[in-house]
Amino acid sequence: MDLTEPKLAEAPPATGHPKQLYMLFFAEMWERFSFYGMKALLLAYMVTQLKFDEPKGYAILGSYAALVYTMPLFGGMMADRFLGYRKAVMFGGILMSIGHLVLAVPEDWSFFYGMAFIICGNGFFKPNISSLVGTLYPENDPRRDSGFSIFYMGINIGAALGGLLCGYVGQQINWHYGFGLAGIFMILGLVVFAIGKKSLKEGLPPNPAALRKPFFAGVPTEFGIYAAALLVIPAIVALFNRYEIMDFIMFGLGAVSLVYILYIALKLEAEARNKLFAALIMIVFSTLFWAFYEQNAGSLNLFAMRNVDMHVAGFELPALAVNNFLPPAWVIALSFPFAWLWPALNRRGKEPSTPLKFGLSFVFLGIGFSVFYAACLLGAESGLISLPAFILGYFFIICGELCLSPIGLSMVTKLSPANIVAMMMGIWFFASAIGEFLAGKIGALMSVPENVVDNPVLSLPYYADIISKIGMYSIGIGVVLIVLVPLIRRLMSDVR
């Protein structure tokens, strides 16, 4: 008998959650603190400090964010086949910590290297820590969904604090201190995990012998995987230096995955095939959602610095901190009413179906951008929009996020055949990667010429025009999706 087994994991309290959930909650909270803290600074740092022209800044930001969410496809696969979740999270966390520390080095070379370490590290960390949450509950445990909601809360508390503190320190005090602060909290997250991981029951390598097997010249497979990941880092740096190639990579990978899933679908029997088609339609739409939504970490950072009136009671609030605090703060605030709303509607038989929620998410997003646009019209004379309007716009945008992001995850698990659920999760993140890449392209349309950047009256129209179009297209796409609801529901058969 193994006496070291943690007691709580064997007999979880009937109403509470396994204590390991809180360890994963804090590890992920600090990791997201550093991830979003650094992302808050990225574009503004490139444009105002490294003096990249704006289209290049947007292209690099889009490429960074796209690669960050492409790597989980590989990190997830490596964990499933060889490393197990725990080793993968540790390795990813170490790479991310190194990346953040490199970014804090005040030299030009450090920038692309720091981002490349974070990209690789995130590929091992992010998907696998989420999978670990899943291992805490037996298959049909009713606490599973609420466990994930608590975990999503940790993500957003970290993101809100990171955006606020790193945004403030980076913009107001010193950019490299901002990056360094992010690094310190990443290390804290890693320490929480390193100490807490012993209490986990699952997540060990699926086949330890395979890990020890020599992979090349007597080097065990485990170290082969780490070495391969390290080799990817200079390749990513090279890509940043030739970012035009990213178009081929992202659209190429996108086309290949689409064709591959269609191929899998065609081999299934009718009902399973239709369900997978339904999932695919919603995944493709989600790409567009993220392309619009992610203006937050891109164009809206520069917009907040230049064209939002940040004065409150004689104080000037730091624009980057405000812009990056607002979305996760709204997620935290709105999670509670949404957690109440869906079951309440359900009891009356009026809960919207998943495709309808997706349609509504675009409508909300479009309303949010329309609020920004209306504020631009009102602020044309001063070149500044009011802070309350900026806050209100984000309220609607986040209502959109809550109709799509958490719902998408469970949609993927319900509509995919059991043997490809993990891969479809990777594809769900990959769809957001393509969205992030498109977001960079849309952001570049809002590039403001050098001689205008310090004059809000002249810079405002550059944003207002595209913001109004995002609002219109988003509402239009929402309407198309709502029209498609009966068709998608038929494909979904018994799944709601």
Chain CA centroid to CA 230, Å? 23
Give the nearer residue to ligand PHE in terms of CB position, either 163 or 471: 163
Give the nearer residue to ligand PHE in terms of CB position, either 128 or 307: 128
* Residue 324 is a binding residue for ligand PHE (CB under 6 A): no
* Residue 361 is a binding residue for ligand PHE (CB under 6 A): no
* Three-class SS of the chain: CCCCCCHHHHCCCCCCCCCHHHHHHHHHHHHHHHHHHHHHHHHHHHHHCCCCCHHHHHHHHHHHHHHHHHHHHHHHHHHHHHHHHHHHHHHHHHHHHHHHHHHHCCCCCHHHHHHHHHHHHHHHHHHHHHHHHHHCCCCCCCHHHHHHHHHHHHHHHHHHHHHHHHHHHHHHHCHHHHHHHHHHHHHHHHHHHHHHHHHCCCCCCCCHHHHHCEEECCEEHHHHHHHHHHHHHHHHHHHHHCHHHHHHHHHHHHHHHHHHHHHHHHCCCHHHHHHHHHHHHHHHHHHHHHHHHHHHHCHHHHHHHHHEECEECCEECCHHHHHHHHHHHHHHHHHHHHHHHHHHHHHCCCCCCHHHHHHHHHHHHHHHHHHHHHHHHHCCCCCCEEHHHHHHHHHHHHHHHHHHHHHHHHHHHHHCCHHHHHHHHHHHHHHHHHHHHHHHHHHHCCCCCHHHCCCHHHHHHHHHHHHHHHHHHHHHHHHHHHHHHHHHHHHHCCCC
What is the smallest separation between the CB atom of 328 and ligand PHE, expressed in angstroms? 7
Give the nearer residue to ligand PHE in terms of CB position, either 12 or 327: 327
Give the nearer residue to ligand PHE in terms of CB position, either 429 or 473: 429
- Kindly tell me the burial class for residue 16, based on how many C-beta atoms sit within 10 Å of its own C-beta (0-12, 13-18, 19 or more): exposed
What is the smallest separation between the CB atom of 32 and ligand PHE, expressed in angstroms? 6
What is the smallest separation between the CB atom of 149 and ligand PHE, expressed in angstroms? 13
What is the smallest separation between the CB atom of 100 and ligand PHE, expressed in angstroms? 16
What is the smallest separation between the CB atom of 327 and ligand PHE, expressed in angstroms? 8
Binding characters for ligand PHE, 13-52, by CB under 6 A (x = yes) = -------------------x--------------------
Q: Which residues neighbour 67 within 8 Å (Cβ) at sequence distance 6 or greater?
A: 119, 236, 239, 433
Give the nearer residue to ligand PHE in terms of CB position, either 331 or 446: 331
Selected binder of ligand PHE within 405, 416, 459, 474 (CB under 6 A): 405
Give the nearer residue to ligand PHE in terms of CB position, either 68 or 116: 68
What is the smallest separation between the CB atom of 432 and ligand PHE, expressed in angstroms? 4
What is the smallest separation between the CB atom of 291 and ligand PHE, expressed in angstroms? 11
* Structure token pair of residue 493: 């058969």
Give the nearer residue to ligand PHE in terms of CB position, either 122 or 459: 122
* R_g of the chain, CA atoms, integer Å: 22
Question: Binding residues for ligand PHE, how many (CB under 6 A)?
Answer: 6
Q: Hey, is 485 helix, strand or coil? A: helix
Give the nearer residue to ligand PHE in terms of CB position, either 42 or 464: 42
Give the nearer residue to ligand PHE in terms of CB position, either 74 or 82: 74
Residue with the two structure tokens 């992202």 = 250
Binding characters for ligand PHE, 72-91, by CB under 6 A (x = yes) = --------------------
- Residue of this chain nearest to ligand PHE (CB atom): 432
* Residue 432 is a binding residue for ligand PHE (CB under 6 A): yes
What is the smallest separation between the CB atom of 134 and ligand PHE, expressed in angstroms? 15
**Interaction residues for ligand PHE, span 434-493 (CB under 6 A):** none
Give the nearer residue to ligand PHE in terms of CB position, either 477 or 491: 477
Give the nearer residue to ligand PHE in terms of CB position, either 157 or 246: 157
Binding characters for ligand PHE, 136-165, by CB under 6 A (x = yes) = -------------------x----------
What is the smallest separation between the CB atom of 427 and ligand PHE, expressed in angstroms? 13
- Binding interface with ligand PHE (CB under 6 A): 32, 69, 155, 405, 429, 432
